[in-house]
Amino acid sequence: MYSGRIVFSQLMDFLPKHEFDKCVQRYRGNYWVKKFPCFNQFLCMAFAQLTYRESLRDIETCLRALQPKLYHAGIRSKIARSTLAEANENRDWRIYADFAQVLIGRARKLYAEDDFGMTLEQTAYAFDSTTIDLCLSLFPWAQFRKRKGAIKIHTLMDLRGSIPCFIRITEGKIHDVNILDQLILEAGAFYILDRGYTDFNRLYMFTQHSAFFIIRAKSNLDYSRRNYRLVDKTTGLRSDQTILLKGPQTSQDYPDPLRRIGYFDSENRKRLVFLTNNFSLPPLTIAQLYKCRWQVELFFKWIKQHLRIKSFYGTSVNAVKTQIWIAISVYVLVAIVKKELNLDRSLNDILQILSITIFEKSPIYQVFSRLCSDLEKEAICNQLSLFNN
């Protein structure tokens, strides 16, 4: 029988502790702290994410029930909801934001050679945002509508491995297009955007930085056609044109030629029109790249379903951002574990398995392999015999 370390402790071994300590020192997170340092706070919040805890009281009750095992999990302090609430309220959320970026950098290296369904040498990013509704009376700082509060999570996702590489958390009233100003553009990379980001002055920045964008065109676009190229309409393509903007403002904001590609989506019976500043890729590749943008939508759906970011443990800006950044850190940590252990399971499956085995004393890789074999045996047992002797 294995009598070594618990699964939670083995999982936390994948965290670069020295990098976490650097982030803590940068913002003096442990200044005047004696009994509940930042790493203990991170471990408690990570536990809450992995086991789907609903509140601070829920976290306190579960951890106290597991008190004999907490030392082996790395949590050396007595857990009280007031202590955890105070830590979330006062310790700078940028500690966990910076640490999440460290994990993101590590994950991107691991997934750099992965295929995302397209044969493309350049890096491809999808940029979008999701809105999380909040009660305005509890979160008065999260202005969105007159009687409604919300925050937005703006995310730039590397399509290789579905790793978020840029995240900004803002009030709900901040328009998505304003966040384009904060992007550090990578020359030669593709940025895939929804039509809500149509701002030709900002889109021209992509061209000036030798980066490419793909965006859906609005129906009222004022343009003149300069020339066109023949397309194979059996593939769904309808047009491939070079255009110039004619509007009095848009023509000044974006004076260079643009490429306009028409495509008919037979699955949804919908005609789509794309604008891009790339003139070298085949038009069908441009349309297929835009389809990959849905990976960022799937990411938003996944984290809302499987991580605690819709119900919050605190109501201040700092507490909310701390919880979101630790949730993102957990997501990226699971992605790192999946790659480094070479697990042939989805992130959802890995999270579900961890949620019920987190305090078992088993080698972490054996936990996943054992459950895989158990599922295979169960499937075989439930299968009726095709031939009877």
The residue count of the chain comes to 389
Has residue 141 been placed in a domain?
Answer: no
Tell me the sheet residues that pair with 241.
228, 260
Q: How confident is the model at residue 251 (pLDDT cuts 50, 70, 90)?
A: very high
Q: Is the same domain home to 286 and 335?
A: no
Show which of 241, 272, 292 is a domain's final residue: 292
pLDDT of residue 301: 85
Average pLDDT over residues 165-173: 92
Nearest to 102 by CA among 11, 10, 16, 8: 16
Is 210 within the bounds of a domain? yes
Q: Is the distance from CB of 40 to CB of 63 less than 8 angstroms?
A: no
Q: Tell me the β-bridge partners of 145.
A: 148
Are the C-beta atoms of residues 152 and 129 closer than 8 Å to each other? yes
SS (H, E, C) 149-203: EEEEEEEEEECCCCEEEEEEEEECCCCHHHHHHHCCCCCCCEEEECHHHCCHHHH
Both 24 and 75 in one domain: the answer is yes
The domain in which residue 42 lies consists of: 7-95+326-379
Question: Which of helix, strand or coil describes residue 228?
Answer: strand
Tokens 């009280």, residue located: 80
371: confidence class by pLDDT, cuts 50, 70, 90: low
pLDDT tens digits, one per residue of 141-153? 998 988 889 999 9
**140 domain-assigned:** no
CA distance 243 to 281: 17
Query: Which of 235, 269, 292 corresponds to the end of one domain?
Result: 292
283 and 199 in a common domain: yes
* 278 and 341 in a common domain: no
- What average pLDDT is seen over the chain? 88
Whether residue 215 is contained in a domain is answered as: yes
Sign of CA dihedral 52, 58, 60, 63: negative
Cα–Cα distance, 124 to 156 (Å, whole number): 10
The Cα 43–Cα 88 span in angstroms is 13
Model pLDDT, residue 384: 43
Instruction: Tell me how many domains the chain contains.
Output: 2
Q: In the chain, what percentage of residues exceed pLDDT 90?
A: 59
Same domain, 206 and 281: yes
Whether residues 204 and 277 share a domain: the answer is: yes
Burial tier of 361 (Cβ tally within 10 Å: 0-12, 13-18, 19+) = middle
pLDDT in tens, 272-307: 999 999 999 999 999 999 988 888 888 888 888 777
Asked if residue 213 belongs to a domain, the reply is yes
Secondary structure (3-state) at 314:
coil
Q: Is residue 69 part of a domain?
A: yes
- 275 lies in the same domain as 336: no
Query: How do residues 31-52 score in pLDDT, each as one tens digit?
Result: 888 889 999 999 999 999 998 8
If asked whether residues 287 and 341 sit together in one domain, one would say no
Mean per-residue pLDDT for 211-229? 93
Q: Is residue 78 included in any domain, yes or no?
A: yes
Pairwise CA distance, residues 193 & 202, whole Å: 12
Q: Does residue 152 lie within any of the structural domains?
A: no
If 0-12 CB within 10 Å is exposed, 13-18 middle and 19+ buried, where does residue 287 land? buried
Q: Which of 269, 292, 315 is the last residue of a domain?
A: 292
Average pLDDT over residues 168-187: 93
Q: Residue 315: helix, strand or coil by DSSP?
A: coil
Across 257-285, average pLDDT: 93
pTM of the model: 0.86
pLDDT tens digits for 89-141?
999 999 999 999 999 999 999 988 887 777 788 889 999 999 999 888 889 99
